[in-house]
Amino acid sequence: MGSLADYVPIDTRLYLELTDTDALGRTQAGAALGRVLGWLAAEVGPPSLEPGATLFESGGLHEGSVITGAAGERGGVPDSWAVADSGTANAAETFQDMLVQALGLSSRQAGLLVDGPVAVAADGWQYLPSGVLLARPRNPAALEASLEDRRLPGPTDAPVRRYRLAFGHELTSDGRVAIVGRGQDGSDLYSRSTQLLRSARGLCLSDLAEFRERMAEIPAGAQGVFYVGTHLRSAAGEPTHEGWWALLAPPVRSLAVALSYDDKGLAVETTGYLRTADGTLGVREPPIESLLFLPASTLAAWTSPIQYVKHYDRLKTQADGMSRFYLDLLEWQMEPDALRKRLLAHLKGDTVVAVGAVNIPISIGWPADAQEASLPVPTVALLVRTDEPQEVLATMRALADNIIRLANLMPGDREDRRIESMPIGETSETRVFSVDLSGLFLGMAVRPFQEALQLSWCVTDGHLIVGTHARTVSEIVQARWGAIPLMPAEAVQQAMSRQRPPRRLPDRVLVAQPRAASAMIDSWLTHVAAHHPEMLEEAWWQRMRRRYWATQVQLGIRPAPDMGSGGIRVTETLAGWPAHGRLEVGDRIIAVDGRALDPERALDSLKIRLAMRTREDRVVLDVIRQGQARQVTIPMPVTPSPTVHPLALLQEIADLARTFQFASYVAWHPSRGIVQTRLDLRLPSPRVSPAVVRSPEPAEPPSSDTTGTITPR
């Protein structure tokens, strides 16, 4: 039998097919994939959320999470943050449970529906709620018999039969294939797919040459395939939603993904056709050896062809006003273009970007009864080769001096910032330099995480290492010396062991320790639940959203403070914005929803009152127009709240990451215009342990002693 792609239209953009859902429950990796598939299937589930409805029922990721409704209801996060390690729970059953909730099926009916190949298709990422689920049941007659009481009117001998499901869904079957979705106006994907099912032959995704080419490149034995292609029905200029891909590979016109999983882990191989045939990266030599000598505290690291001079030139060309002032201040008392000539031009080859973690002390409670605890926070470091180490070191010192001058311009900032110099170890002459930048963003909600913010750097072994914390930079140096435990080499080894040609070096490489990252996320969530329970409430996130909107354009006016009146005078309204056609030039705004503007800070209070308006869909302004007071009602766009609580989603990410010990990713170009990638996710093994360089006295990660010298504990 053919692929289920025979039953979706030729212009379908997203297509995911699994050949056997029963296989999902046989391994941990399959269980993790089943959870993702269940989420995709549930995305085409209930279209709205009611107060008190669980996220699990509504297509969210975390069973038991609750959407906040009226006052007094629970917040939108799990009651407990304690999560057991993911075992080999039957993901096929989890997938079926999702369908039970999303479609109103019984467990038996869901099992009959998805006991064979299944697929999810959509017109694009933003069209997932109007996507379709396709299935080829092993016993379609039994499935239809179980749905007989839900059959919609139609001829008894019709070749295609329709059944009513929950939440506006339908199931259409021809006795071999079943399609589930919501019919709307005849042009939706469900209507177009069922028309293919009824017709003797129509243009389907399998007929698309680009789809066939991508499928031909899928490795043999893959248990699932995922296709992302050009959406032929999309309007010109529609966003392509490919930012995630552009981080690690160039933009593609079409992409096929092969999914393979066993008792060792999950492998995801992709092949893509570039938007422009000459857009390849060329032959590169990423510094893979640097990935072999990273500290055990590294959460993720990857190679990236950062073009420092090009980015700097673009920044200087586009800078104006205050941006130009800050750039000039960074080069104060330097020769013209010193950063370009004496620093950036001496950085050679690809960069290694490393994400690590450091524990920082934080204060809990009010000063009177404050307690000190520690919390791990992420850090970032860049490692790149340099051909002029001493000149780069001197320029970094001058740059840091100017950053201190810039920091001292900030209102209320302390003036005791200086460059700290700390030796690595007791005998080495290599030093890490750093400038404390904590406290620069006092008004930010993430201030505790900024207590670890430092500009830190070191030049050693022909490389410049720049990071956001001195300890991270020091650990990278010591790892390169073999003085502290290293990040396990399994991740790099699996990245380099590809099963298909070419055998040449890849263009980009990423390695990670997802389980270690999940432990850090768990510590954040535990801290939030214990010390900031208000963040568990939906109202807290609503306030954060309103504060954000208070900094954005809301009415679409060009305002001018009306001196002495405490109001805001309208000098222009912008077409396409709410105020256009409702406010007039010369109107003086004096109040929002009956609340007068603050005469001392009229513009700020206008923004805040608009963001905190009584009703989200409209605002009532008190204005003075031609000397007469009047009220003007202005409809406002309603911004939908996220259907998943951010902390619940973060918890689910941690749960999924905890499943895997190592991860690796590689991208390479087998031929002109083609890019291929491979993602490997490896399960924990009792035999896996951090790689340690043997020495008479194994060293541990460094810490800062009371003298400010970094030494091994």
For 28-49, what is each residue's pLDDT tens digit? 666 666 666 655 555 544 433 3
Give the residue carrying structure tokens 């204005």. 623
pLDDT at residue 348 is higher than 90: yes
- Reduce the DSSP state of residue 420 to 3 states and report it: strand
Lowest average pLDDT, out of 54-58, 226-230, 438-442, 479-483, goes to: 54-58
Sign of CA dihedral 9, 11, 13, 19: positive
Q: Indicate whether 396 and 461 sit together in one domain.
A: yes
Token pair belonging to 639: 């911004």
pLDDT tens figures, 524-569: 888 888 888 888 887 777 777 766 666 666 788 888 866 666 788 8
Q: Indicate whether 32 and 97 sit together in one domain.
A: yes
Return phi, psi of residue 242, to 5°: -120, 20
Whether 355 contacts 469, CB under 8 Å: no
On the 0-12 / 13-18 / 19+ scale of CB atoms within 10 A, 456 is buried
Picking from 115, 112, 96, 99, the residue whose alpha carbon sits closest to that of residue 165 is: 99
Cα–Cα dist 260/29, whole Å: 9
> What's the confidence (pLDDT) of residue 698?
34
Token pair belonging to 454: 């430092």
Domain end call among 166, 200, 234: 200
- Any idea what DSSP says for residue 41? H
Neighbouring CB atoms inside 10 A of 415's CB total 8
Structural domain includes residue 375: yes
pLDDT tens figures, 88-135: 344 445 567 777 877 888 889 988 998 888 899 988 877 877 889 999
Picking from 205, 238, 258, 287, the residue whose alpha carbon sits closest to that of residue 505 is: 287
Cα–Cα dist 439/406, whole Å: 14
Residue 19 identity = T
Structural domain includes residue 83: no
Return phi, psi of residue 709, to 5°: -90, 130
Cα–Cα dist 622/631, whole Å: 5
Cα–Cα dist 678/229, whole Å: 19
Q: Indicate whether 456 and 326 sit together in one domain.
A: yes
Token pair belonging to 199: 């017709």
Q: What residue spans of 322-440 are helical by DSSP H?
A: 322-330, 338, 389-407
Which residues, other chains included, contact 76 with Cβ-Cβ below 8 Å and sequence gap of 6+? 55, 65, 66, 67, 68, 536, 537, 538, 644, 645, 647, 648
Q: Indicate whether 46 and 130 sit together in one domain.
A: yes
> What's the confidence (pLDDT) of residue 32?
65
Domain end call among 602, 635, 668: 635
Whether 487 contacts 691, CB under 8 Å: yes
> What's the confidence (pLDDT) of residue 438?
75
Structural domain includes residue 119: yes
Look up the domain containing 447 and give its range: 288-487+690-712
Structural domain includes residue 437: yes
Which residues, other chains included, contact 206 with Cβ-Cβ below 8 Å and sequence gap of 6+? 2, 3, 5, 6, 212
**pLDDT range class, residue 330, cuts 50, 70, 90:** confident
Token pair belonging to 482: 């073999």
Structural domain includes residue 703: yes
- Reduce the DSSP state of residue 91 to 3 states and report it: helix
Sign of CA dihedral 474, 476, 482, 484: positive
Q: Indicate whether 144 and 54 sit together in one domain.
A: yes
Whether 180 contacts 120, CB under 8 Å: no
What is the arithmetic mean of pLDDT over 647-659? 85
pLDDT tens figures, 692-704: 333 333 333 333 3
Q: Indicate whether 424 and 303 sit together in one domain.
A: yes
pLDDT tens figures, 273-287: 776 654 444 456 788
Structural domain includes residue 239: no
**What's the CA dihedral at 195, 197, 201, 204 to 10 degrees?**
80
Neighbouring CB atoms inside 10 A of 545's CB total 14
Lowest average pLDDT, out of 237-251, 449-463, 540-554, 575-589, goes to: 237-251
Percent of the chain with pLDDT over 90: 22
> What's the confidence (pLDDT) of residue 655?
86
Q: Indicate whether 187 and 299 sit together in one domain.
A: no
Whether 119 contacts 17, CB under 8 Å: yes
> What's the confidence (pLDDT) of residue 86?
36
Cα–Cα dist 638/554, whole Å: 11
How many CA atoms does the CB half-sphere of 59 hold within 13 Å? 18
Structural domain includes residue 395: yes
**pLDDT range class, residue 372, cuts 50, 70, 90:** low
Give the residue carrying structure tokens 């092949």. 271
Q: Which residue has the higher pLDDT, 272 or 463?
A: 463
> What's the confidence (pLDDT) of residue 366?
45
Q: How many domains does the chain have?
A: 3
**What's the CA dihedral at 91, 96, 99, 100 to 10 degrees?**
-130
Domain end call among 635, 670, 704: 635
pLDDT at residue 172 is higher than 90: yes
Q: Indicate whether 170 and 43 sit together in one domain.
A: yes
pLDDT tens figures, 375-425: 888 999 999 999 999 999 999 999 998 888 877 765 544 566 788 888 887
Cα–Cα dist 164/155, whole Å: 16
pTM for this prediction? 0.64
Q: Indicate whether 393 and 293 sit together in one domain.
A: yes
pLDDT at residue 349 is higher than 70: yes
> What's the confidence (pLDDT) of residue 87?
38
Structural domain includes residue 578: yes
Query: What is the DSSP secondary-structure string of 326-349?
Result: HHHHHTTTS-TTHIIIIIGGGEEE
Lowest average pLDDT, out of 17-26, 231-240, 529-538, goes to: 231-240
pLDDT at residue 58 is higher than 70: no
Cα–Cα dist 2/478, whole Å: 56
Whether 570 contacts 587, CB under 8 Å: yes
Q: Indicate whether 41 and 137 sit together in one domain.
A: yes
Q: Indicate whether 382 and 299 sit together in one domain.
A: yes
Q: Indicate whether 161 and 37 sit together in one domain.
A: yes
List residues bridging with 678 in a β-sheet: 269, 666
